[in-house]
Structure 1
Amino acid sequence: MPINLPKDLPVIEKLRDENIFVMDQERAHTQDIRPLEVLIVNLMPEKEKTEHQLLRLLGNTPLQTNVTFLRMASYQPKNVSSSHLDQFYKVFEDIKDRRFDGMIVTGAPVEQMPFEEVAYWPEIVTLLFWAKTHVTSTLSICWGAQAVLYHEFTIEKEDLPKKCSGVYPHSLLTPHSPLVRGFNDTFLAPHSRHTTVSYEKLLKQPALEVVAVSDQAGVFLVQSKDQRHIMATGHLEYDATTLRDEYERDIAKGLECEVPENYFPDDDPTKDPQNTWRSHTHLLFSNWLNYYVYQQTPFEWSTSS
């Protein structure tokens, strides 16, 4: 089934080139169906790249989905045009009276700052309070996951001695969880962050369950036992070249950074990296959308408590 998108969204043609089923909202309105409503809180600097990554995954499930993009009203991004934001993004005031079946909160390049010093932190807090009564399930990624763990479960992020950057093997701790249905017992996933969350502190939080961990990268997947929050500390949504782009960007800035681990063939940055995590990316998003959103959300929000 398709994802329903604004007619002129630039990424639509890229998705169609990848055989992702996209339907513009004009055509979708002629179909008698209750599509899922998903809110994407896009905090990443290169918004169009993140749109492409996430829409590709939402469009690869059998569920028809309407997508709404949200930006922070208190922050003006530098890597996307104002016209793109004005045409395709909402701010909280625009959507506060709506209800959504699912919400995705992306990562953000602010993880080395205390949460309260992030310019749009008050907006994030407002959004998370609002989501308690207006969203069925939230999938948060990297900094977004850390923000949810901090605000909802009082678990603070911790600095790493060096950046965790690379593709790492992970083990399942709860292989029978619907979130990881179809996963191999050991699977690969990319990480790109300077901070982490404590496995020991997560175990002491009775409302949480750790689903997958890595000996090298630490905790990866966490879910709340009420299934309202799914948190991924890494970036399964990344393209094959995203870690390379970040590495080359940091080198160009004159930053000291190591080659991403287990990423380039033979650890040689001149060789093209391969996407070794794609199948599990699609499984994660389809499992979340099916088991935690579609099968949990009320058919009519207006009749739910």
Structure 2
Amino acid sequence: MPVNIPDKLPAIEILKKEHIFVMDDLRASTQDIRPLRILILNLMPVKVTTETDLIRLLSNSPLQVEIEFLGLSTHTPKNTPIEHLMSFYTNFSKIKNAYYDGMIITGAPVEMLPFDEVKYWKEFTQILDWARTHVTSTFYICWGAQAALHHFYGINKYPLEKKLFGVFKHRINDPSFPLFRGFDDEFYAPHSRHTTILAEEINRHPALTILSESDEAGVYIVTSRGGREFYVTGHSEYSPSTLHKEYIRDKEKGMDSVALPENYYRNNDPEQPPLVQWRSHANLLYINWLNYFVYQATPFNIEEVAQLGEL
């Protein structure tokens, strides 16, 4: 089934060239089913890239998905045209009385700042609290995951000696957990971050469960509230070229000691294309989240989300 996204969103033409079935609002209105309503709070600097990456994965489900984008009124991105934001993004005041089947909250380029020094922290945490009563299941990514774990459970983030940058092997702690349906025993996922969270802190909190870890990248996926929240420290949504673009960007900025992304280029040679090892599991991750923790858990009357307990 297609994913339903706003008319004229740049991702539409990009994804059609990849033979991914997307549907605009007009055509979707003729189908007599209730689509899943997914809200995306996109905090990444290059909005169009992140929009496309996430829609690509959300489109690989037999479910019809209706996507809305949320921005922050207390922050104006520098790398996205204001016309794009005005056309495709809403703000919290306009949707705070609405309910959603699922929500995705992305990372943000503020991980080196203490949480309470992020200028939009107050608005951001208001949205986190709202999601707990207005969204069936929320999927937090990278800094978004660290920030939500800190806000809800007091989990700290710690600076790494060097940037964790590359594609790393992960293991599953509970293979029977529905999020990993169809996964292999080991799988790969990209990471790009300067900070980390510690397994020992998470394990001390009875409400949190570590679902997946890596010897190199540490904690990868944490869940709470019976699957109503997932915290993912990496970037399964990344396209094959994203780490390459980050590497070239940092080199062009003249940053000292720019390291190659690990386990990424063929023969560890940046002149060769990346060896993509994470796309199949990325698709499964999002399909399983949509199926088992959104579609099968959300009420048909979406306003009843407020009455949900643990899944």
Q: Identify whether the pair has TM-score above 0.5, normalized to the shorter chain.
A: yes
Q: Which residue of the partner structure matches residue 293 of structure 2?
A: 292
SS at match of 1:19: coil
The whole-number CA distance in structure 1 between the counterparts of 2:100 and 2:48 is 22
Q: 2:279 matched to which residue of 1? A: 278
Judge conservation of contact 1:42–1:69 (CA < 8 Å) in 2. Answer: yes
1:130 aligned residue: 130
Give the corresponding residue for 1:58: 58
Match of 1:108 in 2: 108
Shift of 1:127: 0.2
Separation of aligned partners in 2, 1:198 and 1:153: 13
> Are 1:180 and 1:284, in contact at CA under 8 Å, matched by a contact in 2?
yes
2:209 maps to what in 1?
209
Q: Which runs of 4+ in 1 moved over 3 A?
A: none
Separation in structure 1 between the aligned mates of residue 124 and residue 253 of structure 2, nearest angstrom? 29
Paired residue for 1:83?
A: 83
Structure 2, unmatched stretches of 5+, are none
- Counterparts in 2 of 1:19-168, with a 5 A limit? 19-168=19-168
Aligned to 2:195: 195
Q: Which residue of 2 aligns with 1:182?
A: 182
Asked whether the equivalents of residues 209 and 225 of structure 1 are also in contact (C-alpha less than 8 Å), the reply is no
TM-score under structure 2 length normalisation: 0.96
Tell me, which stretches of 5 or more residues in structure 1 are unaligned? Answer: none
Q: How many residues align?
A: 305
CA apart distance, 1:241 = 1.1
Quick one: percent identity of the two aligned structures? Answer: 53
Task: State the TM-score, normalizing by the size of structure 1.
Answer: 0.98
- The separation in 1 between residues aligned to 2:282 and 2:9, in whole angstroms, is 24
Q: Give the deviation of 1:302 after TM superposition.
A: 3.2
Structure 1 residue identity aligned to 2:67:
V
Counterpart of 1:280, as a letter, is: H
What is the RMSD computed on CA atoms of the aligned residues?
1.0
Query: Which residue matches 1:268?
Result: 269
Distance 2:254 2:79 in 1: 20
1:119 deviates by: 1.2
Deviations 1:97-122 (A, max 9, x none): 11000000011110010111111111
Distance in 1 separating the partners of 2:300 and 2:19: 29
* Equivalent pair of 1:136/1:297 in contact (CA under 8 Å): yes
SS at match of 2:184: coil
